[in-house]
Structure 1
């Protein structure tokens, strides 16, 4: 019996010792919380130590830690959907690391100037958890509307977090090492914190608003002299956009098996978490929201979670998004344009969007699809032999076999290897500029048990090879058990033709060969105040079944589309077993370039068919 007790005690002590050995405390390197000293160099030392201890846990005792550009690693990164700048400042760089957990214990990481909080590069099995990211002086400003007249608007600005000056009659914000002029705005209602209805891309101050002349009534109270064509409401808030999109809140590149949990991304200088050419990404309880402790209305500078050219499994679980200046979630690939056919296996190609260049777009053995531009049909595939960049915008790609003979200059290519499966669940999409979810991937997609209060469309399924060049025809999408509340589609943004908008940018849709496939919308609850609930263009296999529509009267109808359902160039559609509660506007189906033979309407729904 004594031997068993001894063995048990010895086993316990060994495990405790091993756990202690695996834990790295940032305090052991001399960094204490709440000192306001620059943490960058000390964190670099701790990460260097962690590199030789795979499986380590780097722990930050709870408190405030400050990060300044001084001593930050500066690296050249081409970041998707982000301004191109010579070098990115990387405050916390995890490069060539494996099996590392960073546990911040609920700490506040406060950043200064233009900087990228976390960068995860060529790393595997990384976990970051329990951290709040913010700026004392944010890279976006906000103002309370004090007075509104036909000749001017008076606003109040918190000068402690958004110091400013007036230059040549224009409002210019001054930060820690930067200065930038106000160039755009969004209006948020005081009580609800919703984006004001019928503003969005139409604007909340009207055309010509930047012709204002600013004057100080006193420092912190500014009069904007101009006969604004649209007047915001007194007491509401303006989020004043002014700076460039140049650093992500977290940048994940060429990495795999990354988990982020319990992160409050209160602010950043661009996209919230940008994942690029990475695989198997899990984000749980990641919240891109305003810091209410600072009375903030603003949150992130642009998108919340942005996935560009990823693969494997993407999981978003129990996340919150509010007051972002762009879409909470965007999943897409990158199409490129064929500029020249050098021979039957060699193409010269170009990145077409100026914020998405310089990527290693393909690797040997990867599968590439060839896309014609008008109907955006894929007319062939081939396997890559080699890839060579000739400039940030141009590259040469050689295939193992001849390219299709029908390929011509101006066609597009899509990398079919970098296409993820996506699961988005148990999350809240509040009032953010633009849409809720943008989805463009041929992988398996499940969107379930979420709540949407999006300013524009709640879900946009897009894809194009002509404008944004964000690729990804969907082939397997399930949208189920979600609640779409009445703030959805209260304002207009690009491609917002329904609460769910399936709108690929196709110049000439081919009704015989649609772009998207296999989309099921099941057992959801909609609260429409206006006509358009579902708009679908170029889909083969679309079902809208078992959903409940409940009429709302909280907002005034305004949308130009006067049909509950619109199907354009679609095949194999089913609308069945849906419930309609209240005086649903339209309660109709509009067919465009779509045969009635391809539409199955269930009984007892009271729907009117229009051709």
Structure 2
């Protein structure tokens, strides 16, 4: 080894014995050779080291599915196409750092790039992730007509054919038909105004199109589309399943991801499941602009299912996602049958969240009335027995109360995290901004939101998505909510901030589901009426915020109130700075009395 290389390695890491270089395993950058086996061998050797650092010389590294490890994983909110093919597999390791040194990791076919399994003290940093042929496509709108739509498709980036009048994308062993279409404003990078899920970018019935190739890169879609996209805008064409994550952090703890650019994934971005203490710093899930793309991930950006400890997201950026940038939740399961005095048959109800190890001996669980969503008791797990991917038996340390009925829900209270999200940017993404449901402390501070739907959604339900976590302590402070927020309709987008637990029976007597949610010192630029929608909150505070009127878009939302409060208690809307031109300046109350709300004089109650 020459002196210069030795000095460089020493500068990278104080203990050279702990540093491995993939080049020492025969892997060189920019060759397009398959990196999989060399990385496997390097990680195998790293297992015997105390504080291993696996370093890559800066460049491009390609990962192909040949000779790849395969594992069966049941990943939350992901299609159970098994086995998963694992490119970089970190299993039962401690104190490992993977340093890409600014490298690009390029993947081929359907692959899970990075999997962290039963490990702790793991750092992934200084790299970019992309696909040679992404499992999403885009097209330029060239012309529109009452009976057809002309688009330009780059066949080099998005290989396709036309079969029986339909566009079929295929490359490297996969293929897919178009299942969803989004329109992006080419100049602003935002989802086009009022083109969310309702109405869609092309209107209802768009799947009846017939495709015809006119010439190089030009395809005509014959159909009287109910909605016409703007000429010059971009259509995002979704055409594949969400069958793997970009990174899967499973049953691991103290994992830190920093300085990572994630340009694409066919499923969730970074999925943390039964993980403890995970943090993200300068992680950007954004389109690869060097390739002219306007999309990034196929679904959520950072997804947290049944985690605990602290989730920390700082100085990150999210843009071009086809679902929510951040989603934090637990998993409700349903009681199917009582098998004995202390034994239950339970079921995962959401078809993309099954097969997980839902509980362990000694963990605390809560009984949930599925009609009122009220917690009606607690108990402790004695044993968990998997029956199938959907069903399991739960043995409890005490007798089941007679008031607990089949059909009620269960929540695992031991897997609930504290959440800190700050100084991050939520750009143009298909759905909402931050979804968060956890009973531990939540802080959403000093972020910028340009979300197409609601910027913040606090939900919870035990009858539909089965995502658990009634909020008890949430502070939303110092954020900027720009005018693009809530400019399209998606599920639960009742306002810029939407607090919307799905409670089947709601009336004056219904117990409050969420508690202690405060919104302070934020700045809103609202083009439409609804700024806050809140249902079933005890202790709701909206204070010291600035409410500005924006004229960037035309109002369209069916709700015509600035604030809608349903079944809330101990609410206050006080000391806010109000633009005289702000729409509405009104508050609608349902299942509440006026004494449940302290209201500043600038607003009026309406019915």
TM range (shorter): over 0.9
The answer for the alignment partner of 1:517 in structure 2 is 515
Q: Which residue of 2 aligns with 1:327?
A: 324
State the 1:86 CA deviation: 2.2
Residue among 252, 255, 273 paired with 2:252: 255
SS at match of 1:541: strand
Equivalent residue, structure 2, for 1:42: 38
Matching residue within 174, 178, 189 for 2:185: 189
Q: Is 1:21 matched up with 2:21?
A: no
1:262 is displaced (CA, Å) by 0.5
Give the Cα–Cα distance (whole angstroms) in 2 for the partners of residues 67 and 15 of structure 1: 29
Question: Corresponding residue for 2:358?
Answer: 361
Question: 2:48 aligns to what?
Answer: 52
Closer/same/farther in 2, CA of residues 174 and 520 from structure 1, 3 Å limit = same
Structure 1 residues 16 and 252: alpha-carbon distance in aligned structure 2, compared to 1, 3 A threshold: closer
1:244 and 2:237 are equivalent in the alignment: no
Aligned to 2:474: 477
Residues of 1 paired with 2:172 and 2:585: CA distance?
A: 54
State the partner residue of 2:6. none
Query: Deviations for 1:209-242, whole angstroms, at most 9, x for unmatched residues?
Result: 0000001012421100001010000000000000
Distance 1:585 1:198 in 2: 18
Structure 2 residue aligned with 1:114: 110
Within 1, Cα distance between the matches of 2:37 and 2:250? 22
Question: What is the distance in 1 between the residues matched to 2:21 and 2:68?
Answer: 21
Corresponding residue of 1:4:
none
Deviation of 1:19 after TM superposition, in Å, equals: 1.1
The answer to whether 1:303 aligns with 2:300 is: yes
Q: Identify the match of residue 235 of structure 1 among 228, 232, 235.
A: 232
Equivalence for 1:9: none
1:226 matches 2:223: yes
Counting matched residue pairs gives 597
Alignment of 1:452-463 (within 5 A): 452-463=449-460
Checking the alignment, whether the CA contact within 8 Å between 2:282 and 2:316 is kept in structure 1 is: yes
Find the aligned partners of 2:53 and 2:87 in 1 and give their Cα distance. Answer: 19
Is 1:313 the counterpart of 2:320? The answer is no
- For the residue of structure 1 that corresponds to 2:46, the secondary structure is helix
The answer as to whether partners of 2:13 and 2:19 remain within 8 angstroms in 1 is: no
Query: Which residue matches 2:575?
Result: 577
Deviation string 1:50-87 (CA, Å, 9 cap, x unpaired) is 00002111100100000001111100000000001120
Task: Give the gaps of 5 or more residues in structure 2.
Answer: 1-8
Structure 2: distance between partners of 1:411 and 1:137: 45
C-alpha separation in 2, matches of 1:405 and 1:162: 59
Q: Where do 1:169-568 residues align within 5 Å?
A: 169-202=165-198, 203-509=200-506, 511-512=508-509, 513-568=511-566
For the structure 1 residues 281 and 538, does the alpha-carbon distance in structure 2 shift closer, same or farther, using more than 3 Å as the test? same
Inter-partner Cα distance in structure 2 for 1:294 and 1:448: 33
Whole-Å separation in 2 of the counterparts to 1:111 and 1:321: 21
CA distance in 2, matches of 1:131, 1:595: 55
Distance 1:420 1:251 in 2: 17
Are positions 1:149 and 2:138 aligned together? no
How far apart are the structure 2 equivalents of 1:466 and 1:88? 29
Deviations 1:388-440 (A, max 9, x none): 00111000001101122211110000000000000000000011011000011
Kept after mapping to 1: 8 A contact 2:46/2:52:
yes
Structure 1 counterpart of 2:4: none
Runs (4+) of structure 1 exceeding 3 A deviation are: 13-18
Partner of 2:91: 95
Matched, 1:128 2:124: yes
1:607 maps to which residue? 603
SS in 1 for 2:534: strand
Distance in 2 between residues matched to 1:275 and 1:371, nearest whole Å? 25
Contact 1:254 1:276 in 2 (8 A): yes
Q: Is 1:76 the equivalent of 2:75?
A: no
Contact 1:374/1:509 (8 A) holds in 2: no
Structure 1 stretches of 5 or more lacking a match? 1-12
SS across alignment from 1:200 = coil
In the alignment, what sits opposite 1:3?
A: none
3-state secondary structure, aligned to 2:402: coil
2:109/2:173 contact within 8 Å kept: yes
Find the residue that maps to 2:483 and give its secondary structure.
coil
Q: CA deviation at 1:18?
A: 5.9
Q: Please give the alpha-carbon distance, in whole angstroms, between the structure 1 residues aligned to 2:165 and 2:89.
A: 41
Distance 1:109 1:439 in 2: 30
Q: Look up the SS of the partner of 2:267 in the other structure.
A: coil
Residues 510 and 538 in structure 1, CA contact (< 8 A), matched pair in contact too: no
Tell me the equivalent position of 1:5. none
- Is 1:139 equivalent to 2:169 in the alignment? no
The answer to whether the 8 Å contact 2:10/2:16 transfers is no
Q: Contact 2:55–2:100 (CA<8 Å) still a contact in 1?
A: yes
- Conservation of the 8 A alpha-carbon contact between 1:41 and 1:71: yes
Contact 2:453 / 2:488 at 8 angstroms: preserved in 1? yes
Q: Name the SS of the counterpart of 1:527 in structure 2.
A: strand
Report the CA distance shift for 1:169/1:17 in structure 2 as closer, same or farther (over 3 A).
Answer: closer
Q: What does the per-residue CA deviation read over 1:237-269, in whole Å, with 9 as the maximum and x for residues that have no partner?
A: 000000010010000000000000001010012
**Structure 2: distance between partners of 1:504 and 1:531:** 21
Q: Are the structure 2 counterparts of residues 81 and 191 from structure 1 closer, same or farther at C-alpha, using a change threshold of 3 Å?
A: same
Q: Give the conservation status (yes or no) of the 8 Å contact 1:165–1:171.
A: yes
**From 80, 86, 92, the counterpart of 2:82:** 86
SS at match of 2:394: strand
CA distance in structure 1 between the aligned counterparts of 2:290 and 2:68, rounded to whole angstroms? 28
RMSD between aligned residues: 1.3
In the other structure, the counterpart of 2:5 is none
SS, match of residue 583 in structure 2: coil
| Residue equivalent to 2:588 | 590
Matched with 2:3 is none
- Report if the CA contact (8 A) 1:511-1:570 is conserved: no
Q: CA deviation at 1:184?
A: 1.0
